[in-house]
Amino acid sequence: MNSREAFYIGGQWRVPLSSEQIEVHEAATGEILATVPSGGAADMNAAVSAAGMAFPSWSTTDVKERSAFLRVLADGLQSREDELADVMAREVGTPIAASRRVQVGLGIGVFRSIADALDELPMEQHIGNSVVLRVAAGVVGAITPWNYPLYQLAAKVAPALAAGCTTVVKPSSVAPLAAYVVADVAHGAGLPPGVLNIVTGRGAEAGEVLAQHPGVDVVSLTGSTSAGARVAELAARSIKRVTLELGGKSAFVLCPDADLEAAIDAAVRTAYINNGQTCSATTRLIVTADRLAEVEERVVALVDALVVGNPLDPATTLGPVASAAQYRSIQRYLDDAADQGTVLVGGQGQVPGQERGWFVRPTVVSRVSNTARIAREEIFGPVLVVVPVADVEEAVQVANDSEYGLSGAVWAGDINQAVAVARRLRTGQVAVNGGRFNVLAPFGGFKRSGIGRELGQHGLAEYFELISLQLPSARCVETTEGTAP
């Protein structure tokens, strides 16, 4: 049991004002892994107050000092890599190798990349007779999801601290333990009291209080589209800035001249990453009808080769989903799958030999119309749908025919053709012929996939406000950049 009994508020571990606890379950067994306190309005008020008191000092801290803190945090998290990988494999179900590489490695990489971005971003800019200042936006409320607990926290906390903001983090009640490790590391690194505060709790009791709190200036949420709509509604009451990274139903466009061996390998890998619990997963494979049969054969072979099992076993390539609620949600989609297409592999029911925990059979449903429910709604599990089209023109239309626009992929034999198709997709990022995810590039979506961007300089910019100093043309003033005319 890795239980926690306090919140991290104002640089101290504080006993909750309520005795209510949240049980954290191990995805592979369903057993209780830990308990954490369930915070309410009074606890969240204390955290926001601590962040507000710390803001004047932290926001005026030298940029180089803030950058150095981010690197110290990254180093501290690196020193606890094994612990973090283990706990997120248990909470989320991520296979241990992927947990170490993605869950931990990506989160640490974000802290370091934001430090680099801060070093490169000028805090002042001269435009005519004006000096434009970048200043910290204020107190940030960060509401993070359960599928990537450390990475998503890093994508909000790192740029907020870099910009000079102070933060209150409300991690998911399904997977809150990595946030406690971050607090441990920050405390050991000497981060000033109140700059980072962590309060665990349920969305309706803690998250909603944070989203509408008058002491919070910016709210950043990663979660479902419905959660994003609720947070935006609450934040709008006090005209807060919001960044929302929400759902997706992303398309993988397979052009007729693509190398099928390489392309299908990438399509299966990106659909089932983190057991399908990834908002940017490309879960619609769009294929021209003349290659459909060959594609189906290759997809089935690769999915059949997945090793479903305990995420702590190094041989496992697909683990369980994170919760009983998520398991039930996926099964409801699979109940109707045969009516919406041809189930090639997987389907309803438990994985043989995995009766404990929340294991979903990796599933492929082919010959699906893009109007079908399983082609339009985010399932958030190991389910891939194959949508046949007549040609590339129809493929682009189908890819864009979605309420979402978070991610996508294009694979073609000719890289120039692949880029030309990718340019036509209405989505926040597109992997071209297997192009890798880049933590320096902006991440975010169109339409119901969200508002704003995370990562790199574009994500850092979300946490600044701009002030224009309009100067007399004949007057010079000293600035941190030198003498401004």
Among all residues, which ones are annotated catalytic? Answer: 245, 279
- Three-state DSSP at 222 gives strand
Is the Cα torsion angle 305, 310, 311, 315 positive or negative in sign? negative
DSSP 128: T
Closest CA to 331 of 342, 341, 321, 319: 321
Query: Which tokens belong to 275?
Result: 């057991």
From the number of C-beta atoms within 10 Å of its C-beta (0-12, 13-18, 19+), residue 110 rates as buried
Distance CA 287, CA 299 (A): 12
**Residue owning tokens 């079908």:** 372
Query: Which tokens belong to 257?
Result: 């001249």
Contact 216, 141 (CB under 8 A): yes
Q: Within a 10 A sphere around the Cβ of 64, how many other Cβ atoms?
A: 11
Distance CA 478, CA 469 (A): 13
Q: How far apart are the first and last CA of the chain?
A: 62
Long-range contacts for 456-459 (Cβ within 8 Å, ≥24 apart)?
A: 456/113, 456/114, 456/117, 457/117, 457/120, 457/121, 459/114, 459/155, 459/159
Closest CA to 274 of 475, 67, 99, 41: 99
Residue type present at position 253: V
- Three-state DSSP at 120 gives helix
Alpha helix (H) ranges present in 36-127? 41-59, 63-78, 81-92, 96-98, 105-120
Q: What is the dihedral of CA 289, 294, 297, 298, to 10 degrees?
A: -110
Closest CA to 362 of 90, 77, 8, 95: 95
Distance CA 104, CA 85 (A): 6
Query: Which tokens belong to 151?
Result: 């990475």
Distance CA 380, CA 427 (A): 18
Distance CA 50, CA 450 (A): 29
